[in-house]
Amino acid sequence: MGLSYSGEVALVTGGAAGIGRATALAFAEAGLKVVVSDLDSAGGEATVGLIQAAGGEAVFVPCDVTRDAEVQALMQQTIAAFGRLDYAFNNAGIEIEQGKLADGNESEFDAIMNVNVKGVWLCMKHQLPLLLAQGAGAIVNTASVAGLGAAPKMSIYSASKHAVIGLTKSAAVEYAKKKIRVNAVCPAVIDTDMFRRAYEADPRKAEFAAAMHPVGRIGRVEEIAAAVMYLCSDEAAFTTGHALAVDGGATAI
C-alpha cells in the first residue's frame, strides 16, 4: 500500500491484543520491523510470537504510557533494537465508563484522561524528535467516533478522544513542513476484548451496538488496521491532521 519495505520500523502501543495486535501483524506482514508495547507483557510477547512465527521481525517493550521515563525508555529501546523509527501507532487506551456525567467520579476521570490523553501526548512528545532526526515519518493516534460528536453515558471517554483529535490536528500543523504526518483513526464499536467486557454481559447491549451501525454489524480489528496502514502509506502523502472515521456509517446518521 505504498509503504517501502527496506528496513522501516513501526511502533505500536497497546499491541497486546485487539486493534493494536492486528495492526502490529499488518505492519509485519507488509515487511516492516515492529516494536510492540503494552502493559500486558504476556499479550505483548504473544503478539511478537505471532509475528516471528510468520517470519517477521519484532520485539516487545513493556511500557506504561502515562510515565514519562517509561515512554522515553520505549523510544530508546526502539532505536537500540532497530536503529530508527518511521511509523508510530499510539493505540494504548483505557475503556469507557458507562453512566451519565453526574454519576461519574474523579478517579475514573483521572484514569481515563491519564491514559488516553497524557499517554498519547507523551508518546508523540518523544516520537517526534526521532522522526525529525529521520527526516520524515507518520504518526497515527487512536481516537474514536466518540471524539467526533456526543457520546451519552461515556462523557469522560468522549472528552478524552476529542482531546486526542485536538492533539493530532495541532501536531499535524506544527510538523507538516517537516515531512511528518499526524492523523487519527476513529473506530466505532469494534469486536475486541474491550467490547466484550462492555457489552456482551448483556446481549441486548451487544445487539444495540451492532444496530447503531448502518451496515448492521460491529467492526473487525483488521478493518482498523487497514485504515492505519493507509494513513501511514504513500497513498496518504497529502493527508495530515485528519480524523478518519471507520464506523460502518455511524457518523453519517
Domain that holds residue 129: 9-190+221-245
Nearest one of 109, 185, 193 to 140, comparing CA atoms: 185
Known catalytic membership, residue 230: no
Nearest one of 47, 8, 63 to 221, comparing CA atoms: 47
The model's confidence at residue 205, banded by pLDDT at 50, 70 and 90, is confident
Alpha carbons 34 and 60: distance in angstroms, whole number: 9
**Helix runs in the chain, H state only:** 18-29, 41-53, 68-82, 106-113, 119-134, 155-175, 193-195, 203-211, 221-232
pLDDT tens string 120-170 = 999 999 999 999 999 999 999 999 999 999 999 999 999 999 999 999 999
Number of domains making up the chain: 1
In a domain, 204, yes or no: no
Least confidently predicted of 30-34, 131-135, 208-212, 227-231: 208-212
Q: Among residues of the chain, what percentage have pLDDT more than 90?
A: 87
Q: Is 69 helix (H, G, I), strand (E, B) or coil?
A: helix
Q: Do the beta carbons of residue 11 and residue 88 sit within 8 Å?
A: yes
In a domain, 201, yes or no: no
DSSP state of 95: P
Rounded to 10°, the helix 155-175/119-134 angle is 20
Most confident of 3-12, 145-154, 209-218: 145-154
Alpha carbons 75 and 17: distance in angstroms, whole number: 21
Give the rounded distance of the alpha carbon of 42 from its chain centre. Answer: 19
Least confidently predicted of 7-16, 90-99, 175-184: 90-99
In a domain, 177, yes or no: yes
In a domain, 198, yes or no: no
pLDDT tens string 69-117 = 999 999 999 999 999 999 999 999 998 788 999 999 999 999 999 999 9
**pTM for the model:** 0.95
Residue among 5, 87, 157, 199 flagged as catalytic? 157
Alpha carbons 236 and 92: distance in angstroms, whole number: 23
Residue 201 has pLDDT above 70, yes or no: no
The mean pLDDT of the chain is 94
112 phi, psi to nearest 5 deg: -65, -45
Q: Beta strand pairing status for 9-13 and 33-38?
A: parallel
The model's confidence at residue 59, banded by pLDDT at 50, 70 and 90, is very high
pLDDT tens string 14-56 = 999 999 999 999 999 999 999 999 999 999 999 999 999 999 9
Q: How far is CA 98 from CA 155, 168, 250, in A?
A: 9, 26, 19
Alpha carbons 77 and 4: distance in angstroms, whole number: 23
In a domain, 196, yes or no: no
CATH code, 118: 3.40.50.720
Cell numbers for 195, please give them. Answer: 467490547
Rounded to 10°, the helix 119-134/68-82 angle is 30
Q: Do the beta carbons of residue 213 and residue 250 sit within 8 Å?
A: yes
